[in-house]
């Protein structure tokens, strides 16, 4: 069973819990994902089934979108509401002050990854060290915040709801704490929902409960997206049957013999099609003036 399944991850499930559940329902052993979500978080979790699991290394980076709720006036060891409270501060931040503060986080930003994360330090995951009561120095990481919108603000409760469009590697709970620290009172993330990632949104997602019903009815194929959906942002070329046979046997295709598309030589990667069938991914080699094989997904040429 090959394809892409977009799940709306429920709260209190780890990403591994979802993978295990889908593996049991679909009977597919090979399942990967394109990025984890914390147990507190809900929303878009992209699963790669079967041969699609080998696609991740060829995927280009997409923007990610989250809707988060944060509480001002508190700091926890996990940077979210599930952690132990380290400090509490009486805060009375106005909506205008909050709106002004978030503007400073738009653009290139450096974050210090949280101790409760899966990043490794000397071969050990940070959250494992944190659970042992250890804290180690972490290097700042450059991320990009494309936009932050304030969706709701409750001054009495000192609660804000924000929508964040950001790059891969962004920790939203760290952003929440950083916003609170800038306002002088600290902050913790209380809710998080990923609404878009890797070119997929909540519109394409299904719940675990719906998946269970679909699998019981034997209709899983209806919700399984084709592997090529992972590469919708890439340019594509259509080739002839002899070219298709050569490509699927690992041979390069001369650029001069491939039907031209706009800016062909500037493309990093391309989707290769024959007779409306997705064959795989190719990469431009300008020095050799050819398209070389990156990955073959279908070698059946009719």
Q: Which residues are catalytic?
A: 38
Distance of CA 32 to the CA centre of its chain: 12
CA–CA gap between residue 238 and residue 272 (Å, rounded) = 6
Instruction: Assess contact for 186 and 132: CB atoms under 8 A.
Output: no
- Residues facing residue 87 across a β-bridge: 75
Structure token pair of residue 277: 């069938």
Residues in CB range of 116: below 8 A, 6 or more apart: 77, 78, 79, 83, 126, 127, 130
CA–CA gap between residue 57 and residue 278 (Å, rounded) = 18
CA–CA gap between residue 230 and residue 3 (Å, rounded) = 10
CA–CA gap between residue 255 and residue 111 (Å, rounded) = 43
Instruction: Assess contact for 79 and 65: CB atoms under 8 A.
Output: no
CA distances from 26 to 30, 94, 208, 218 (A): 10, 50, 12, 9
For residue 75, give the nearest of 63, 67, 83 by alpha carbon: 83
Instruction: Assess contact for 77 and 116: CB atoms under 8 A.
Output: yes
Whole-angstrom distance between the N-terminal and C-terminal Cα of the chain? Answer: 21
Q: What three-state secondary structure class fits 40?
A: coil
Structure token pair of residue 172: 């939203």
Q: What three-state secondary structure class fits 172?
A: helix
């Amino acid at each position: 069973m090959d394809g892409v399944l977009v799940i709306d991850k429920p709260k209190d499930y780890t990403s591994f819990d979802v993978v295990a559940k889908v593996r049991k329902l679909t009977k597919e052993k090979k399942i990967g994902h394109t990025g984890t979500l914390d147990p507190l978080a809900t929303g878009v979790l992209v699963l790669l089934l079967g041969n699609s699991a080998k696609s991740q290394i060829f995927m280009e980076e997409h923007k990610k979108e989250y809707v988060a709720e944060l509480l001002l006036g508190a700091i926890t060891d996990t940077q979210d509401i599930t952690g132990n409270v380290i400090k509490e501060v009486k805060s009375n931040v106005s909506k205008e002050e909050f709106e002004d503060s978030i503007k400073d986080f738009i653009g290139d930003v450096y974050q210090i990854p949280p101790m409760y994360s899966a990043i490794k330090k000397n071969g050990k995951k940070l959250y494992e060290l944190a659970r042992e009561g250890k804290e180690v120095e972490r290097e700042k990481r450059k991320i990009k915040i494309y936009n932050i919108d304030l969706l709701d603000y409750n001054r009495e409760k000192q609660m804000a709801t924000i929508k964040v469009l950001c790059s891969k590697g962004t920790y939203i709970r760290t952003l929440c704490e950083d916003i609170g620290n800038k306002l002088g009172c600290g902050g913790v993330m209380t809710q998080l929902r990923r609404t878009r990632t890797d070119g997929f949104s909540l519109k394409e997602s299904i719940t675990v409960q719906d998946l269970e019903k679909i699998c019981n009815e034997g209709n899983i194929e209806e919700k399984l997206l084709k592997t090529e959906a992972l590469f919708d942002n890439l340019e594509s070329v259509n080739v002839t049957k002899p070219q298709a046979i050569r490509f699927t046997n690992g041979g390069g295709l001369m650029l001069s013999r491939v039907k031209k598309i706009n800016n062909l030589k500037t493309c990093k990667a391309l989707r290769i099609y024959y007779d409306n069938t997705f064959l795989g991914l190719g990469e431009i080699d300008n020095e050799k003036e050819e398209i070389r094989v990156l990955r073959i997904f279908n070698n059946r040429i009719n």
